[in-house]
Amino acid sequence: MRPVKEKQRIKIGDKCVFCYRQATERHHPLKYSGNNHEIDEISIPICTDCHRGNFGDIFKEVKIKCEIKAIEDNLEYLEKNYPKFNWSQRLRYLKTL
Ligand SMILES: [Zn+2]
């Protein structure tokens, strides 16, 4: 039985996390390898260009930045609710990219 998740941990910012223009969409950067589902309560504000400007897909560097921010801002929550994944190790790895 999965514990009840807290809703929306990140405050909705109105600036794109990558280019700081007006954010128009939200990116969900985290997947949980425990059961491979998207962690949909954690999302990052992003503009359409950064989200889909790479031939309809997200740019790699935007993807990495979103994932770093999502883990940094929610590390305690992630470790509590998704304990089978090593979030600190993932964060260290992302910062080497
Ligand atoms: Zn942007």
Contact 71, 87 (CB under 8 A): yes
- Identify which has the larger pLDDT, 54 or 14: 54
Give residue-wise pLDDT tens across range 59-92. 999 999 999 999 999 999 999 999 989 999 999 9
Between the CA of 75 and the centroid of ligand 1 the distance, in Å, is 24
- Give pLDDT, residue 37: 78
- Give pLDDT, residue 13: 58
Between the CA of 53 and the centroid of ligand 1 the distance, in Å, is 9
- What 3 state SS string does 28-86 have? CCCEECCCCEECCCCCEEECHHHHHCECCECCHHHHHHHHHHHHHHHHHHHHHHCCCCC
Between the CA of 18 and the centroid of ligand 1 the distance, in Å, is 5
Give residue-wise pLDDT tens across range 4-32. 455 544 454 589 999 999 999 999 999 88
Give CA torsion, residues 50, 53, 57, 59, to 10 deg: -50
Between the CA of 41 and the centroid of ligand 1 the distance, in Å, is 21
Could you tell me the pTM of the whole model? Answer: 0.81
